[in-house]
Copies of this chain bind each other. A is one copy, B any other.
Amino acid sequence: HSAPSPPPNYGSLFLSLASNDTAAIHLRALTLHPHVAGTRANSLAAAYVRDAFSSLSIPSRVTPYSVLLSYPVERSLSLTVPGRATTKSFSLSQETYPNDPYASATAEVIPTFYAYSASGSVSAEAVYANYGREEDFAYLTSRGVDVAGKVALARYGRIHCEDIVRNARVAGAAAAVVYTDPLQYGGAPGEAWFPNSRWLPPSGVQVGSLFLGVGDPTTPMWASSEGCERVSVEEAMATDDMPGIPALPVSARDAAEIHGALGGDAAPVDWQGRGGGPVYRLGPGPAILNLTYTGNDTMATIENVFAVIEGAEEPDRYVILGNHRDAWTFGASDPNSGTASMIELAQRLSVLQKQGWRPRRTIIFCSWDAEEYGLTGSTEWVEENMEMLSSRAVAYLNVDVSVVGPVFRPSATPQLDELFQETMKLVQDPDNSSQTVYDSWVKSNISPMIRRLGHAGSDFAAFVQHVGIPSTTMGFGEGPGYPVYHTLYDDFVWMENFGDPGFRRHAAAASIWGMMALSLADEEILPFNYMSYTIELEAYTKLVENEVRGTAISCSPLHNAIRALKTAATKVNGERKELQRQLLSNQLIKDSLKTRSLNDRLMQAERAFTSREGLFKQEWFKHLVYGPSEQNDWESASFPGVGNAIASARRDNTTESWKFVQHEIYRVARAITQASVVLTGNLT
């Protein structure tokens, strides 16, 4: 026996193992066929992911749930114009191109539809409703255009389809049609489209889900475990979280024909399409849209796949990496760029394991199912394991789309900002080998920002908003507004030609994701810094102050609570340093309960931002700092309870409703105070 050599620097080793090819190979394999949740194709994809982990000797398992999904059975849309002899029937199909290698698999692609759309037939005049926001419908009213009983024609670009259709229903529309306007999805006028550029072809249709809630609609506050309580499908479909009216997504080309048949006043400038096109008019009519939709809303089996590297010292502390697997079509960007990055990352960790590495804490890989329907797979699992995750989960690191373009886009709960930035400094920019991802991010013309997780954008929602677990999500490229998002053309060809030629971004995403995981899993003291949280909270408070200016509402409870949090964050940061010093100088034994105690404070402080009662009328959402805004779930909202209360108070303008705003401010302040108590670790 020779003397043991010092342990390798596993971080450097991890970075050095980056493999573009591995990511590319897995992405190609995962995207040969479309794989919508609940289908055999997606079950095969689950098996593929499981096999990938098995071949890396990482133990894996599948956890199935029976949940309510939704599939199209019959769709038709035609345009009648009084006085015109013929009715135009739209084909509602996305076109392949010459030599499309996926042309034959296109037959397996789900017909363009909206999950959970009501079934029914509507024939009515069309009205143009711009982005389908509340203010757009309010504008129509102000212009004397009545939407009641009409078919609302709206375009993507500002809010999610489920919010557009809800707003249309609230405005009284009998049906809704939503399209991808070339202004956003088609590049400059005259520009080419896929496969000749990254832009969406004119027949491209963006599908989606119209469910406003999260998880399985038949188990609204609990897990879809075997033998569990269920709301009936009929009841689930009748709630306000469902669209309630028939709706269809259509292509830019079909929408152009509808626009061409609309009369009425010209729409305002910011309602128009890209330059050189026809003028958009408000309607109503004379265009009449005849829409028929029959959906099959049915219980189906979904499968979450888990792979676990057990922690050596703290097996009961979890660092969780998650990515969904189900896709509306081939899913080359959404979500399997992330899946490919995850497997590539796992492959590197398996090499580390062979070199003797074992993480201090348990690392769990999650391949979620049915994210597209309503974050269903992750939500049901979090609900099922709520108590365990609440006491054991250190962090959740999500990646949905890992790549659609060059610019890195980090999102996090703020105590992870510092770790995120430090990690970005360790990884080379895949598009500029002379600088790090951090450098490019700082130098990019938009000011470098870390986005927040207060919306239902991906599988982090249950972790952050239901349990209060420090979380991140990340990816290279723009958000859900990229051209082929949720369309037929989100395939391997698009990715290798436009999304990530060379697959360096896939590997870079895995590098950042994996280095974050290594820090969180291996560092003796958790790398959380709550000072960034106080800065964020101050900014949100400023926003509230602006909103309530001129009222009797006081934000001083928030200021006081944030001040206490700052004191606590300073104190705990000092303790971290001192403990670190003691550990380095061997004054403290490793794995001591003293370290565990500090780590628990750092971990539990995020939980304290949740309230057990949840948001008013949205009680599943427990986080009082990050959660959905009632009006718009496109971007992260802060202090959602306060925001919703202000919106109500503006509408009702009663003493009670303003008092409720103050109450919601106090609630947030109390949560912040609890977080500072937890960080400090002292009972009153």
Contact = CB atoms under 8 A, between A and B. Distances in A.
Nearest to A607: B387
A600 to B, nearest CB: 7
A609 to B, nearest CB: 10
A613 B221 contact: yes
A465 B274 CA distance: 61
Interface string A346-380: 00000000000000000010000000000000000
Interface string A557-581: 1001000000000000000000000
A666 B596 contact: no
A546 to B, nearest CB: 22
Contact of A560 (B221, B227, B604, B674): B227
A385 B683 contact: yes
Contact of A385 (B596, B604, B684): B684
A316 B313 CA distance: 20
Given A222-B670, A591-B593, A387 B560 contact: no
A387 B316 contact: no
B604 A391 contact: yes
Nearest to A622: B612
A681 B316 contact: yes
A614 interface: yes
Copies in the complex: 2
A531 interface: no
Given A591-B593, A597-B316, A557 B229 contact: yes
Given A316-B600, A391-B604, A613-B612, A684 B384 contact: yes
A381 B597 contact: no
A276 B104 CA distance: 100
Interface string A198-227: 000000000000000000000001110101
A597 B315 contact: yes
A409 interface: no
A576 to B, nearest CB: 16
Contact of A613 (B228, B386, B613, B684): B613
A192 B518 CA distance: 78
A623 to B, nearest CB: 12
Nearest to A671: B387
Contact of A673 (B225, B315, B381, B593): B225
A682 B316 CA distance: 9
A314 interface: yes
30 contacts: A225-B673, A227-B557, A227-B560, A229-B662, A229-B663, A229-B666, A229-B670, A314-B593, A316-B593, A316-B597, A318-B683, A381-B684, A384-B677, A384-B684, A385-B677, A385-B683, A385-B684, A387-B604, A387-B607, A387-B674, A387-B675, A388-B678, A388-B681, A388-B683, A391-B391, A391-B678, A591-B592, A612-B612, A612-B613, A613-B619
